[in-house]
Amino acid sequence: MKKVHLLRILSVVMAIALAYTLIPLFSGRLAAESESLQNPQAAQVNTIKITAKKFEYSPRKIRLKKGVEVVLELTSLDRHHGFKCPGLGVRADIYPGKVTSVRLTPQKAGTYEFHCDSYCGSGHEEMSGDIIVED
Ligand SMILES: [Cu+2]
């Protein structure tokens, strides 16, 4: 009799513990879903993949919209390169087999040159491209 009573208490305690773990999970998910319905950009930030190799970037021209956040995903196809865009305050190292993410929200329209700032060989000085920010 006493044992049955104890088991009943234990199962109630466990049910409460389970509810406490599951409810925040569910409500967190609901909040995230309703946020993405109200503001699609909160859930979806545009990603632009850029590859680097001796002695060029692909793509060489990147078009962005003023005030719209993007993530640049940089990777190298051969060796260590740099990615420096002084006009937008961006600098990163790019390695083969690794993705370097740079988050950026351009605030001013214009053309911003970027280049490799890690010496990579005879064509290093010409390794560059443009980020074009449009209104
Ligand atoms: Cu270089």
How far apart are alpha carbons 118 and 76 in whole angstroms?
Answer: 12
**Whether 74 contacts 87, CB under 8 Å:** no
pLDDT at position 30, please?
Answer: 47
Find all residues with CB under 8 Å of 24, minimum gap 6, and list them. Answer: none
> 83 C-alpha to center of ligand 1: Å?
9
Q: What angle do CA 107, 131, 42 make, to 5 degrees?
A: 50
> 6 C-alpha to center of ligand 1: Å?
71
3-state secondary structure at position 24 = helix
**Whether 113 contacts 85, CB under 8 Å:** yes
Threshold 0.75, pTM exceeds: no
Task: For residue 54, give the DSSP letter.
Answer: T
> 56 C-alpha to center of ligand 1: Å?
9
How far apart are alpha carbons 82 and 127 in whole angstroms?
Answer: 10
Provide φ and ψ at 45, rounded to 5°: -100, 130
- Model pLDDT for residues 68-86, shown as the tens digit of each residue: 999 999 999 999 999 999 9
> 127 C-alpha to center of ligand 1: Å?
6
Please name the fold of domain 45-134.
Immunoglobulin-like (2.60.40)
pLDDT at position 44, please?
Answer: 84
- Model pLDDT for residues 23-69, shown as the tens digit of each residue: 555 554 444 444 445 555 555 899 999 999 999 999 999 999 999 99
